[in-house]
Structure 1
Amino acid sequence: MFHIKQLELVHWDYWRRFTLPLDAQIITIVGPNGSGKTTLLDALRTLFGLRCSGKRDYRRYVRRARRSFAWIRAVVANKAGSTGKRPFFPCLKDEVTLACRIRKAGGDWTRDYAIADGDVSIEELEQNADKRIEWVGYRDYQSRLAWGGLTPAIAKVLALEQGDTDKLCEYSPKALLELVFDVFGDKEVLDNYAAAREEQNNAEQELTALGLDLDRMRAQAEAKQLEADRYREWRQLADDARALESEIIPRLEVAELARDVGLAREDIARSRRDLQHSQDELAVHRARIAQVEAERKAAEDERRRIRQHITEAEQAHQAARDTVRDLERLIAERDALRARLALEGGEAALDLEAAYTKADSRWHQLQREERDAIARFEEKTTQLRATRDNRGPLPDAEVSRFRSRLREAGIAHQTLAEIIEVTDPDWQSAVEAVLRPYRHVLLLEHEKDRHTAWRLGEQERFRHFIVPERETAPRAEAGALAEVIRFAGPVPRWLPDLLNRIQRVEDVEAARQLPRDSEWITRDGFHREKRGARHLGRPSEFHFGELARSARLQQLDAEMKSIDARLLKLRPELDAAKAEADRLRARLFGIKAAEELAAKAPGYEDAEAALPAARARLTAALAARTEADTGLDSVTQRLQGIGIELDRRKREISGLEYRLQELQDNAAPRRQEQVRRILRLRQLRRGMPAHWRDPQEQQQLAERHGEARSARSELERLRRRLHDGDWITDDTVLSLAQRLKADVHAREAQYAERQGYCNTARHLSDDARAAYIAKLRATVRQYGKNLRALGDLAHVDVDCPVPHLENDDRTLASAGLEVRFDFDRKGAVGLNDGEASGGQQVMKSLILLIALLMDEARPGGFVFIDEPFAHLDIANIDRVGSFLRATRAQYLITTPVTHNANVFAPAQLTLVTRKKKPDDDWAPPIGLIQREV
């Protein structure tokens, strides 16, 4: 902060005009009581926008001069601080002139302030020829001074009353804390906290009042609502009773009667249906009995046939067993001859006989191969002749057997392969791959034969399609597979559709040009359909068209050539085998057993060869007999089931006949009762409104009220309740209850709104209190730091702990600042505990005072102190003086002339005031005593 270098007064109190140099650290203002010491300080307070001491103000001083104007001018320092900024920027000179012009206008005194760069005299300020000086009001001037360092906090301290500066140590901890916060604290934070707390209290009081009023209105609304509910209940009961008597009960009676008529009608119709159903069921049972009788007769015929088959099977079994026995006897006879041959001729004879047997077997085997080859050659010759004369697929045993059955039944037919001709041999493989599943499809010449053919197919379990529906094939699509096929007759409709749907492409790459969903096939047989794409395989045998027949002819011709070559090779081998057998047989002549063996060798060989077959026939005969026995058991069980079913059918027929008689007996009384109901219903409906007879409405009434008897009981109950109850019958209670309910809703909305506002105010108050506590803690820490620094200068230990602060109004209200001083290591003393001496009291007050004015951001400044040396001894006066010299502030100290001369020791400048004489108009000028440096 800046310090004062010069002061000039014009027409201030009883001084006419004088100028005082104040460029010193400690300035002592001395003079008798009433000589103007406080008047001089009030002039400075007025210049700096401060409140004058006591009840004085600037008007009191200017009125005494009896002039229409007055001036206060001071020259203050404007040197740059540690931050490089000047206090009165944009004034750039080291000195600045502060001026207060007081004038009388309109019967009252007004003051204007100005700040001029440099040392500007009053005359220059008055003339203001170049208009550079701007006169401002009191508020704007205070803002400029605050920016220059004279903050509202320092202004508050400088405005302390006379005598308060040396009594700060007598403040209570709470009062001292309030003073410190007033000086250091942010006034806006305190104002915000006070305003928020006041707003919260007001909001809570208003909310409490609204809550009481809301509870009262709710009680009134609930009471009136109960009355309205009683009225509604009475009106509802009365309306219900009226509706029951006049409408509901008659409608229910009509509805019940109509329902009874409908139920009876349905019952009669049901009886008719039951009668018809029973008659139909009786006819079905009788027809079924006739059918079962036929089934029993057929089963008995089948049982006789199976018994005959069993007899034949037994005979076949006996014959097979005899054959096996005879063959086994021949084999045993051969083995006996061989044993006798070994006795007669030795082991060589056995070897010779074995060689003969082997050669003879070889000869007979070659004979059988020759016969088989001749038979195959004749068969292939027959097939070749048939293939040259006919078209169609290769013969299949199952297909051939079924076609024989069809021909026996006189059903004309063709195979699909007989009417298909492939016109392009390059696509023969693709056509064969696509039509492979259909090569044995049979096409009927006449559609009327379909059921007969299907019955034969069921009997034979024929696995291929039998198609009766045929039509002329449509024209083939361009590029389709059907384009390379020619049909020799009508075809099934699905076949041209299949072939026209498949497009022919050379390969998979060529298929890229087709649409995405197209079905196609390549020459190699790679097929694409809706399920995906796959290779259908290249068939080894062709079945469709002339190419297939040519291939079969070539195959038959090759097979016949192979058989002929085999015969040419086989005949020399046969002659050699016969010669070898004759030679060995000739060697065996002369041995009786050998002769018998040689004579009977073919028989023995045939027996040995036929024995496995004979045993197989014996096994088959035994299996056939077992199967026949099983079939007989099955037929016997079926006959038992047929007998059980016949008994059950006869009992059901007896029950149905009894049921029919009962239905016929009950039909007439039901119809008569229905006629009486219909007549009664017509009588009741006469005169009723049309909508009363609406079935849907009647159903709703029945669901709501039940039967008419229940509705009459409900009507009687309602009448008793209306008669015995204490009801509200005035309908004005409804509007009153509604109005009270609306008022309660409005008041609830208002209460909710105020409650939200109260919560917001509470939050704002908590936030403002928290900000206030934070600022208060920072202020106390800063003030404690100032106290400790001043205590070090005065050689006094100062302790200023931070008070306990919580976010609570009660805690804040009771918080105080406890400052303790330790003089001469005699123990710490408090603010006003009575243990400190008078000089120590003054020292404590000065430390407390000067700490209020310390600001690290703006060091220096000036302090007004009224009579700090009163009641001090010489030692304490010197101690206070040393303390003042050790600080960096500028002090203006008043002291009476009665003090010891030591009070002037620390002063570099002493101002001496004198009283005005009664006969003089103006007081004498202030004297100056300046210490030489």
Structure 2
Amino acid sequence: MFHFRKLEVMHWDFWQRFSLPLDAQIITIIGPNGSGKTTLLDGFRTLLALKCSGKRDYKRYVRNAKEPVAWLRGIVDNERSASGRYPFFPFLDQQITLACRIKKQGGDWSRQYAICEGDVSIEEIEARGQWLGVNDYRRRLESAGLTPAIAEVLALEQGDTDKLCEYSPRALLDLVFQVFGEKEVLDNYQQAKQEQKQAERELEELDGRLAKLSATLESLTGKANRYLEWQHLQTERESLQTETLPRLELHELIVAMLNARQQNLGARRNLRERHYALEDCQQKLHDIEQQLHDAGPALTKAKLAQTEANNTFMKLREEIRGFEAKLSEQTKLQEMARAQGGDLTAEIDELGQKRTEFASLHADLKRLKKERDDTQALANALRGGQQPSFAFVDRFRAALDEAGIRHEMLADIVEVADPTWQGAVEAMMAPFKHVVLLKRPEDKARAWALGEKLQYRHFVVAERQHPPRAERGSVLEVVRFNSDAPDWLMRQLNRVQRVEDAAAGARLGNDTEWITREGFHRERRGGRFIGVAAHEYHFGEAARKSRRAALEEERARLDAQIEQLEHRMEPLANRIGILQAKVAGVDAANMLAARADEFKLAHDSLQIHKEKALQASDQLIAANQAFEQAQAHRGKLEVRQSQQIDRAQQMRVEVERLRGAGVAHRREQVARYEAIRAMRTRLPAEWVARHGLKQLKATWETLGAVRRRMDEIDRRFEQEAWETDDSVIERRDKLQADFNALEFQTAARQREFDRAGQLCDDARGAYINVLRNTVRRYAKNIRALGELAGIEVHADMPHLENDDIVLAQAGLTVQFNFDRKGMMGLNDGEASGGQQVMKSLILLIGMMMDDARPGGFVFIDEPFAHLDIFNIDKVASFLKSTQAQYLITSPTTHNVNVFEPSELTLVTRKKQPGEGYAQPIMVTVRERPAGGT
């Protein structure tokens, strides 16, 4: 790397123009704070196209000069290296001029650089006008040895000389490799990595496109399949309509005509048999009518005899009742005669008791007759198909009718299909026998309002559904609903199983609800008997029949009680009459005497009439038997006549039907023949071949099967979504071709990616080899520098493998041993300020020790700022022992030892108030031992 020999500045900050000699190894720049030490270093940095220190930039300095143009010109050496290469090749002169012109253009400042062979003045450079851009200029300096890593070191902040020892092992390794590494190797490795990443990104993009295209292709393939299926169904539907259906109709017409021919022969035979049977039936009917004609006078004669015998018997019976009534009066008078006389107090008390007893019996009789009348009315209602009503139900239904709300009772729509399970159904539905069902759901609000008003305690239901399919063995299976019913009721009946007895129900398990025929019900809470008595049945015809039977039994029981009361009241009434007469003072003895002949005649006549009534009764019985026999004989003849009439009428209807069927059959056969001939003419010959029709019949069996298939196809056309655009096939094929091409391209890119990975591995291997050599060379350099400074330096070889992760984690660990006090790391906090400076200088200068390009220069801003006298001398001695050129700044307050290593001292001075420019930098040259100045 090159050294500086001279620097010339013009209009840089507050300096007008001056030149500084720099032909020395160690150059010290001293001056008070603010006198321009850092300004001078920033001039070097700007000349080298580096960034200035801190937040400053070159524009700040040229603005202070208040001139339109500023110059920085430096003379550097161009000595040939040990490898025979010149830093600024193709320039071969020993000196090279570096120049930077900063000019204001368009309101802003811009830099222009120039590299000239030899010592060329500013005016000559201006005259030549051969300028380089910033980037080209940096590349020329980089080829001369000013690498980006060294440029970064040269731009260290003031007082940051010891910053290198604060680098992490990884950062230090990166810096070393950038300084020593072969740029071509690094570029190849980075390029291989970028190409691999680019190939990976392209491969991921292709994979994404391939996946997207695959999804699109799959969707389009599905549409194409739907189109093909739709096309197939259309073809099948058309084939069924135009070919299969007509051919099968033709085959069935032929088969029907052949079958009808055989049936016609049987029908003719049957017609003859029915005709003969009709003639026989008419002859029998004529015989029965003749017998009925003969039985009429006999029946009339028997009827007259019966009427005469009945009239005679009834007349004698009425006369006997009159005689018995008179004899009853005689008995009453005799009892009264025996009872007359004495005190009547007992008779009066007895009369009161008998009247009370009679009144109680009469009240019971009246109540029983009322119950009998109600029972009879209820039985008549049930016989007419009506259900018994209740007052609260009648009131609520009347209110609904008045409001115009159409409704019906649950019992009106329920029938029990199996009467043997009537008891179980009644038990389950007993709580719902007064449920009201609305015919219009929109009436529910008004109906509920009426229910609230009348306090109707049973459900008023608006929501009704069609009965569901009954579960096998459930109660719902034996219940039939004539119309829609409440869903909750049907679900309840559907989940209850029917069992013969409780033992059978127990075997069903704990999760099943069941009920027996008699009404023992098991639910989740347990089992209990909820059966209903037969006369309380409410649902279905069986309920009406059982209730009618129960009412008939109740009526018979009431009749028996009424007859018993009447028998008890008759003697009681007689006794009351006697007591009333006795209390009233009737003379019974005189009345008996006065009517003795009357009573004697009644007694004698009663015996005579009883004997006559007995004879009349026998005659009446005989007359009744004769009449009944005649009537039964005539009834049998009438039944036989009615049967023969019905049979004859059936025969005539059957004969007429068979005759009409024969005529219709002949017409049908003619129509079939004409239809067959027309179809044979219309259809192609190969369609009407007999073997083809048989095969078609074997395939489809019936026309119904063909029509069902056509209906199924039509239903699918209506219900399913189909693709009917025929272009979907072309689009699918094109997309398939695109997919295949992209798949081939992806495979090719995959191969390229694999090859890029292999190249990256190879480049990484070369990079690792160079990195190992670089680390070894750098470790050798810092060990040599450590020996010059009397410091033991040890560098650990980093762990390097052909893997990006391992390389990214690799670092250079350096340890120092000052005064044999033990090894310490880069920034472990154990080193003093001077030791930190020595560490950084060793690390820094070690990067510039290149056998091929020795030398170089370093800007060190105040390296002695925190050092004592001993360490200053130590650092100065170290700097002398190296081959680099140092430009060191130092404030005037430091110890004079800082000047000991300096061969050239530059003294900066502050700008004086009132002056336009600062005074030029003073130069002091150390006297050389050979007598130089």
- In the superposition, the TM-score normalised over structure 2's length comes to 0.46
TM-score of the pair, normalised by structure 1: 0.46
